[in-house]
Amino acid sequence: MDHISRKIKMCDLEQFVRYPQFYPFLKKYDAGSERALAKQIPLTEDNVAIIDAIAKVIPIQRRYRGPRLRGGFTRECHKQDAERVSIYARQS
């Protein structure tokens, strides 16, 4: 991870300092060196509730992932077709 990406991601994550209940979730779905806060999150009721709670603390963008075509590759797709979601800090 280069210095600039790390600095930007840390600035986003530092906003969670008062919300330690999100740490295990973000660690479990860690995006590594990518810009996402968390990636490949299964769309379960519990996970959606946590994502909604995160959205109340920091503006986020959700990118839904799932099959684009029947039997096709898993890519960005419409919410109703999604199996997983990745969350990104919304840039101001």
Q: Is the pLDDT assigned to residue 12 strictly greater than 80?
A: no
Higher pLDDT, 68 or 2: 68
pLDDT digits (tens, 9 = 90+) for 26-78: 889 988 888 888 999 999 999 999 999 999 888 899 999 987 666 666 677 88
Q: Is the pLDDT assigned to residue 4 strictly greater than 50?
A: no
Q: Which amino acid belongs to residue 81?
A: D
Q: Which residues contact 29 (CB under 8 A, 6 or more apart)?
A: 38, 39, 40, 41
How many domains does the chain fold into? 1
Q: What is the DSSP letter of 35?
A: S
Q: Which domain holds residue 19?
A: 3-89
